[in-house]
Amino acid sequence: MWRSAILAGFALLLLVSCDTNDPFVDVLVSNINEGNPLLADLIEIDDTKDPPEIFIPEDVVLVEFWNKPRHDAVITQPETFLHDFHVKRYSVTWRRVDGGPSSGAGWDISDHDFEAATSAIIPINTKTGVGILLAPAGMKTAEPFFSALMNFEEIQMIADIDFVGTRAITSDEEIHVLASLSVQFADFGDE
């Protein structure tokens, strides 16, 4: 009788441990781009070369994830990966906030939305930084950014980012972690 009670209790413990709707742990974006808006330069000139080289830079930002217990009473073993979070991909959706047009002849701001793969493990009880590409060079050569560069204008946008991952032990159920960042596109090289 004791043996069956112990086995039933162990089976229940495994069932609770494998619960993918983890009531004990939260994954948050605790910081992005060191708490600053992103100044996305539309064009850069490398004066150190002869002749100077002109190029379109890509913008990568550091995102800090915090995988933390919901309550101080939750105790986790430091050597276990039971509550680790695996970031697998992210998507970026753009919205314009400066009052300028969000579409025009042959373009729409949603043309610049994208999804990218990444891979990072965020251990429980830690803050871990992950670099992500936010503004690809190809985006800056298209409208409305090309016209903004030619007319010495600035474009203010918000990047809404959806990070998708899973718990280390249950890779079936996706967890979404949302964040947003203010981005200002302009030619900052002459300022």
Percent of the chain exceeding pLDDT 90 equals 57
* Residue 88 confidence (pLDDT): 94
Q: What is the tens place of the pLDDT at every residue in 80-124?
A: 677 789 999 999 999 999 988 899 888 999 999 999 999 999 988
The answer to whether residues 102 and 145 touch, using CB atoms and an 8 Å cutoff, is no
Q: What is the tens place of the pLDDT at every residue in 16-36?
A: 333 335 556 788 999 999 999
* 0.75 surpassed by pTM: yes
What's the rounded Cα separation, in Å, for the pair 117 and 111? 18
Pick the CATH number of 23-186 from 2.60.40, 2.150.10, 2.70.98, 1.10.1060: 2.60.40
Chain-centroid distance, C-alpha 150: 30
* Residue 61 confidence (pLDDT): 97
Question: What does the buried/exposed string (b/e) look like for 84-101 if buried means 16 or more CB atoms within 10 Å of the residue's CB?
Answer: bbbbbebebbbeeeeebe
Q: Scanning the structure block, which residue is given the tokens 């990070």?
A: 163
